[in-house]
Amino acid sequence: MADASRVGAVPDPLDQLTKELAPVRSAASPLDLEPLLRDLPALTGLGIVRGRVHAATSLGLATAVLAVVREAAASLDEAVPEHNQVHLLFRVHPKTARLTPAGARQAAQEVSGVEMRQFRFRQEGRLRRLVAQQLLEMQYGADHRPYE
């Protein structure tokens, strides 16, 4: 198995997306995300994001990133408890849609049944990974859609 810490090694796309979803989850609006775009090469490079950019500006790109990430989170089955936590955390659930990112984290933590510290260091990363997996599946589906 290749060592990803080697110089010149390409990071795993799933790991990279999972890491990049942390500031996206914390962004309350595209304006919050816009200055961070430089640090999100995996997300901003996705074709499903690029295809959503309506204005060729950094704000247009930030808007597209947020829209695609929220769509990916919302597409997870709410009947699965972990997916319900994703909905709460990424503010696509009606209960958290109008909350701040911190309020949404607290709602997801309360549903998880663990303490906030445990939630932030263990659960939240797993929930972000579920969204990252969904993003990759959406990208795969877009890449393999027959031409119309």
Cβ-based neighbours of 54, under 8 Å, separated by 6 or more: 60, 63, 64
Write the pLDDT tens digit of every residue in 34-67.
999 999 999 999 999 999 998 889 999 999 999 9
**Alpha carbons 121 and 101: distance in angstroms, whole number:** 16
Amino acid making up residue 14:
L
pLDDT at 79: 82
List the chain domain ranges: 13-143
The answer to whether the CB of 68 falls within 8 A of the CB of 17 is no
**Alpha carbons 34 and 28: distance in angstroms, whole number:** 11
Residue 145 has pLDDT above 90, yes or no: no
Containing 91, the helix (H) or strand (E) segment is none
pTM, full prediction:
0.86
pLDDT at 6: 62
Residue 9 has pLDDT above 90, yes or no: no
pLDDT at 5: 56
Average pLDDT of span 104-114: 95
Residue 1 has pLDDT above 50, yes or no: no
How many degrees, rounded to 5, is the angle at CA 47 between CA 147 and CA 51? 75
